[in-house]
Amino acid sequence: MIKQQTRLYVFSSAVLLCTLILTAPLSVMAEEKGSKPKEPVGKALVEKKCTVCHSIERVHGADKTHSEWEQTVAKMMRYSDRIDFLNQQEREDIIYYLASRKKTKAKSEK
């Protein structure tokens, strides 16, 4: 009986260990994929890229949702002469930063 319990314990421990080893990389990948862009990166990109055509006051004065910023940035990209003006990550960082400003403004007014 003790021998059976020991085998069951060893087997259960091995299964648990294998499960942890096999799923750990998945959780790391999920964190990386789902991680939000950092606000300072988006702010720096807005100051560098958007102010080529717009004043910073104009950009910061626009009060838009995330979806509205996606549409606006896509429209501005079509106006750009250079197709590589912003890569996908830069677009995401800019949109995140600009959309987060709306949330901050709404919270501070309450």
Residue 92 has pLDDT above 90, yes or no: yes
Q: What is the mean pLDDT of the chain?
A: 77
Report the pLDDT averaged over residues 3-21. Answer: 67
- Give me the architecture of the 39-109 domain, per CATH: Orthogonal Bundle (1.10)
| Residue-level pLDDT at 31 | 47
Confidence of residue 90 (pLDDT cuts 50, 70, 90): very high
pTM: 0.59
Collapsing DSSP states into helix, strand and coil, what is residue 62?
Answer: coil
What are the b/e assignments for 18-44, b being 16+ CB within 10 Å? eeeeeeeeeeeeeeeeeeebeeebbbe
- Between CA 53 and CA 7 the distance in angstroms is 71
